[in-house]
Amino acid sequence: MDRRQFLQSFGFAAMSSVVLPTFGNTNQAPGADAQQMATAVATTSSRASGDSSSADEVQIAGWNCFSPRFIDPPVFQLVAHPGARRYVGIVEQHGQRHQIISARPRIDLGQVWAKLAHDWFTIALGIETSQGMALAPATRRFKAWDWQGFDGVREDWAAAADRNIAFLIHAAEHAVAPYREPGVPVWIWSSAGPEPEKGHLQGRGDAYPAAHQPVFIRAFLAHAHNERAYKKEAMRLANLVGDWLLAHRHPPTGKLPLFPYSTIGMGKYEGGNEGAAVNITRACRTAEGMVDWYRATGRKDALEYAIHIADTVMQFQRHDGSLPYRVDPDTGAVLEDYTCDVINFTVLLEMLEAHRFDARRSFAARRAL
């Protein structure tokens, strides 16, 4: 299944091609008018100073206004100008210029996408009125490779993953850190090694258990599952981290009972920007690790914990599918509202469907998307 098929299976088009609904033939194909348009663009700077259309009026109204990279050809939906005769896009790359002319406020790069290399290009968007051409300053964008589009030298990613696992195994006992808990890997309490440029000469004194520890679990389990060189030690550490997360969590009270700690440091179960607050979408990452741990070991307490986190977070979902960011674990008060992260919540609910289906969770996942 490639990227487009994956997105379509969830009811999405390839994201860089999503546009506002339009009807009929919205693009005027370049033909006899192309030369006329090129002349108008070339003389943009010479239009009268009293022109009623200005470059400031050329505005992108669609979601991709600030998106720099595209795999599929983007479609730029512009703000309609009442006096517009036509809209134009001028794409330049490697000394080549391509023109896109449209009768509607919609510039579709699909017309020229195949002619562009996988590299940076510029696009200038404009509006032609009876007064002349208003052309906004060009912006820089990038045509990125698709999943099947990269033809570079193949790397040994399995060997690279092995080196990462070897590093984590060694760091568990030998890394430098300002605080250590006996019998516990260093990276439980320290999120990074020495960073002299940031003043952390002995490594960082804070860590993010809800976000990072489940990643360790999943990495170690994948290493063991694939029968790699450090299978035995990787499995031991996966179990150790899972047990640590179950043993070190919020008390079974308040609005977020038994939730994983978002930030810890120097022996205290709080710190950083969170303080004592809980990042509830980050807790979903812990639950994802618990589901994988259950799949690998059959630990039912891990599955039950994942379900508990999912059902608790679901109570905070709003009608538009969004979730708050930081929450007081005792009162449930929202301390910081906005977060762009709903994907971890959705992934968790999708993972749970295979083990204990619940229609409410299924609906919540789709509402989040």
What confidence tier does 16 reach under pLDDT thresholds 50, 70, 90?
very low
User: Is the pLDDT assigned to residue 47 strictly greater than 70?
Assistant: no
User: Is the pLDDT assigned to residue 22 strictly greater than 60?
Assistant: no
pLDDT number for residue 51:
41
Contacts of residue 208, defined as CB under 8 A and 6 or more positions apart, other chains included, come to: 191, 262, 263, 264, 272, 282
Q: Return d(Cα 83, Cα 52) in angstroms, integer.
A: 9
Quickly list DSSP for 62-91: STTTT--EESSPPEEEBPP-TT-SEEEEEE
User: Is the pLDDT assigned to residue 57 strictly greater than 50?
Assistant: yes
pLDDT number for residue 30:
34
Q: Percentage of the chain with pLDDT > 90? A: 67
Topology classification of domain 3-143: Immunoglobulin-like (2.60.40)
pLDDT number for residue 95:
96
| Cβ 266 vs Cβ 190: under 8 Å | no
Quickly list DSSP for 13-64: --GGG------S--BPPSSHHHHHHHHHHHTGGGS-TT-S--GGG--B-STT
State the helix-helix crossing angle for 157-174 and 209-225, rounded to 10 degrees.
120
Tokens of 317: 């979902």
What's the mean pLDDT in 86-98?
Answer: 97
Question: Which contacts (CB < 8 Å, 24+ apart) does range 338-346 have?
Answer: 339/279, 339/281, 341/281, 341/282, 342/281, 342/368, 342/369, 344/281, 344/282, 344/284, 344/285, 344/288, 345/281, 345/284, 345/310, 345/313, 345/317
**Domain 157-368 belongs in CATH node 3.40.605.10:** no
Tokens of 292: 């994988």
| Cβ 101 vs Cβ 30: under 8 Å | yes
> Can you tell me whether residue 172 is helix, strand or coil?
helix
Least confident of 128-132, 222-226, 255-259, 314-318: 128-132
User: Is the pLDDT assigned to residue 151 strictly greater than 70?
Assistant: no
Any bridge partners for residue 327, and if so which? 278, 334
Quickly list DSSP for 115-148: GS-SSEEEEEEEEEETTEEEEPPPEEEEEPPPTT
- Select the highest-mean-pLDDT range: 15-24, 49-58, 188-197, 279-288: 279-288
Least confident of 14-23, 292-301, 314-323, 355-364: 14-23
Provide the residue ranges of all domains of the chain, joining segments of one domain with +: 3-143, 157-368
More confident residue, 320 or 247: 247
User: Is the pLDDT assigned to residue 42 strictly greater than 50?
Assistant: no
pLDDT number for residue 351:
94
What's the mean pLDDT in 245-257?
Answer: 97
| Cβ 213 vs Cβ 305: under 8 Å | no
pLDDT number for residue 35:
41
User: Tokens 């004194």 belong to which residue?
Assistant: 205
User: pTM for the full model?
Assistant: 0.62
User: Is the pLDDT assigned to residue 45 strictly greater than 90?
Assistant: no
Do β-strands 139-143 and 69-70 pair in parallel, antiparallel, or remain unpaired? parallel
pLDDT number for residue 5:
52
pLDDT number for residue 7:
46
Please state, rounded to an integer, the average pLDDT across all residues of the chain. 85
pLDDT number for residue 54:
62
pLDDT digits (tens, 9 = 90+) for 160-178: 999 999 999 999 999 999 9
pLDDT number for residue 25:
35
- What stretch of H or E contains 326? strand 326-327
| Cβ 143 vs Cβ 113: under 8 Å | yes
Q: Return d(Cα 268, Cα 68) in angstroms, integer.
A: 41
pLDDT number for residue 27:
37
User: Tokens 């194909």 belong to which residue?
Assistant: 29
